[in-house]
Chains A and B, each alone.
Chain A
Amino acid sequence: DIQMTQSPSSLSASVGDRVTITCQASQDISNYLNWYQQKPGKAPKLLIYDASNLETGVPSRFSGSGSGTDFTFTISSLQPEDIATYYCQQYDNLPPTFGQGTKLEIK
């Protein structure tokens, strides 16, 4: 299985801050990477697919980049409603695997 490693595991930031989360794959996955947002008690929500494509209806402050083994997820200006845990997920190889998550909190 491909291992997905996210960093940091947790992050505290202020409203309006630029927030960056990284995800590293244990082998080349091209751009077959998704990012999900999960709020407490809720199902995950797909935000970005194919590493950099914004899902319909997702605010433009969210973005993704990268290819190969190294990927970045960015929130350009943190909003209070962005408090959640974020997961990356690869689907280059079966089984699809998720990162361990990054818990984002408001400072």
Chain B
Amino acid sequence: QVQLQESGPGLVKPSETLSLTCAVSGYSISSGYYWGWIRQPPGKGLEWIGSIYHSGSTYYNPSLKSRVTISVDTSKNQFSLKLSSVTAADTAVYYCARDRDGFATSFDIWGQGTMVTVSS
């Protein structure tokens, strides 16, 4: 079955760039679907960050757009998130997910999530 797995540093310094990767298994990204990133600050709700298609087309949450880059590597069957100029407010669990029904619609398969703390 389709599985997603996030990876990346758990600690990032303020003003630096957060970088995460989501490895997809059980399905070839090149075959279709959209793929997204969602985050959840400790004890808080869910915030969609952005989504990407295998062609590389992206859409970002306007609230984060100036700092976000999502890219896809079909040869490695993975997609990545970069968030620049991080602050403590970016501390959160970051999830990657399959965006099933189109751009930013229904997230039906999720990774387990990875906690990223922004601190010096």
Contacts and interface: CB of A to CB of B under 8 A. Distances in A.
Interface of A: 1, 32, 34, 36, 42-46, 49, 55, 87, 89, 91, 94-101
Interface in B93-107: 95, 97, 101, 103-107
Contacts of A55: 108
Contacts of A42: 112
Contact of B104 (A36, A45, A94, A99): A94
Interface residues of B, number: 21
A87 B45 contact: yes
12 contacts: A32-B105, A43-B95, A49-B108, A55-B108, A89-B46, A91-B104, A94-B103, A95-B61, A96-B48, A97-B48, A98-B46, A98-B48
Contacts of A89: 46, 107
Interface centre among A34, A46, A87, A95 (most CB of B within 10 A): A95
B103 A98 contact: no
A32 B105 CA distance: 8
Contacts of A96: 48, 104-105
Interface of B is mostly: loop
* Secondary structure call for the A interface: loop
Nearest to B36: A96
Nearest to A33: B106
B41 interface: no
A97 B95 CA distance: 15
A32 B106 CA distance: 9
B106 A34 contact: yes
B46 A44 contact: yes
Contacts of A101: 45
Contact of A87 (B46, B59, B112): B46
Nearest to A4: B45
Of A43, A45, A49, A89, the most chain B CB neighbours within 10 A belong to A43
